[in-house]
Amino acid sequence: MTAALVLRWVIGLALVAYVLSGGADFGAGVWDLLARGRRAPRERAAIAHAIAPIWEANHIWLILVVVLAFTGFPVAFAVVATALHIPIVLVLVGIVLRGAAFTFRAYGLQSSDLRGRWGRVFAWSSLMTPVGLGLIVAGMSSGEIRLSVGHGGQSGLVSSDFFSSWTTSFAASVGVFTLVCMMMLAAVYLAADLVDDPELREAFRGRAIACELIAAVCAATVAWRASIESPALFAELVGGPMALAVHVGAFVAAVATLWALSSRKFAIARVTVGAQVAAVVIGWGLAMDDALVRGAVNMRDAGTVDAVVEPVLWTLAGSGLVVGPALWWLMRVFKHHQPVPSSEA
């Protein structure tokens, strides 16, 4: 296995970690947006209680993905940053607004009305960001990004327009599917956390089950639109070397999650839903095959330099000995069971 391939797998695992942690935080923000009725203050309090201690730490995985992609695959990074700069900006704006709004709502000294406005900014940013991430993934997978031919027959600058790769119905279906998966993660995690509030636990259990069913419809829609708009990707999704194993794994995890939720075995549901979403992310990575940007950049022309990548991998291995235990201790200190506040200002 080459150093570049190892780095690609590391990036993929970091992306899985980000979806399972930061993605669940985005999903929780959407549930904050949808909170209505007499339970709304308690729901928002429970969401804030779940997110507040560690939400900034979750972005370490996204930072790792960006830095490793820039370092290991600079040509692919440049192509993505150029061709998809509009949805990338939307995601970055969403992340910044979401973090600022959450802080101002939770810790600000403003009036309750103004803090409520910050809460709406937080909630809408939480909805916008997952959709933007899905649009980026779809754009990279679409085959619509094109490069001009440079000197010596090498790939040149991005020659396709800045909209066609991520404004299709396929891209929209991926964006919605991403959003539903993150809402599903959040609903399961919140149901598992709410041991002191049976009513809210049941509410989020029902929402998690609904999200499972909606996610199945969304997955079928993504496959349908891919078969029409990105046939090369669809061929790998259904006929790739590991496609059957990934699909079976995701299906078994989904069924196990529904069983665990129906049986109110929330600790098991937390594990199985994570496995299900991880299988979706890994399946996409495998379906990309040798491509980093389908139709534009493959592994061999991504600008990888082994003399750079190999030291990066050794540095990652060494730093993991420090960062891994630190993250575990952060979770241990701040995510052990604590009573949820009764309401949020």
| Residue 345 pLDDT exceeds 80 | no
Tokens of 70: 């820039």
**For the packed helices 85-107 and 40-51, what is the interaxial angle rounded to 10 degrees?**
110
Span 286-314, pLDDT tens digits: 999 889 999 899 998 888 898 899 999 99
Q: Which of 175, 204, 223 is nearest to 264 (CA)?
A: 204
Tokens of 105: 């709502």
**Percent of the chain residues past pLDDT 90, beyond the cut:** 62
With DSSP H G I counted as helix, E B as strand and the rest as coil, what are the percentages for the chain, rounded to 5? 75, 5, 20
Q: Give the separation between CA 269 and CA 258, rounded to whole angstroms.
A: 8
Cβ(295)–Cβ(144) below 8 Å? yes
* Residue 147 phi, psi dihedral angles, 5° rounding: -115, 145
Exposed e or buried b for every residue in 299-313, given b needs 16+ CB within 10 A? beebebeeeebeebb
Domain limits, the chain: 3-308
pLDDT band at 344 (very low <50, low <70, confident <90, very high): very low
CATH class belonging to 3-308: mainly alpha
Span 76-107, pLDDT tens digits: 999 999 999 999 999 999 999 988 888 887 77
Span 145-197, pLDDT tens digits: 988 866 555 556 888 889 999 999 999 999 999 999 999 999 999 999 888 88
Q: What is the signed CA dihedral for 209, 213, 219, 225, rounded to 10 degrees?
A: -140
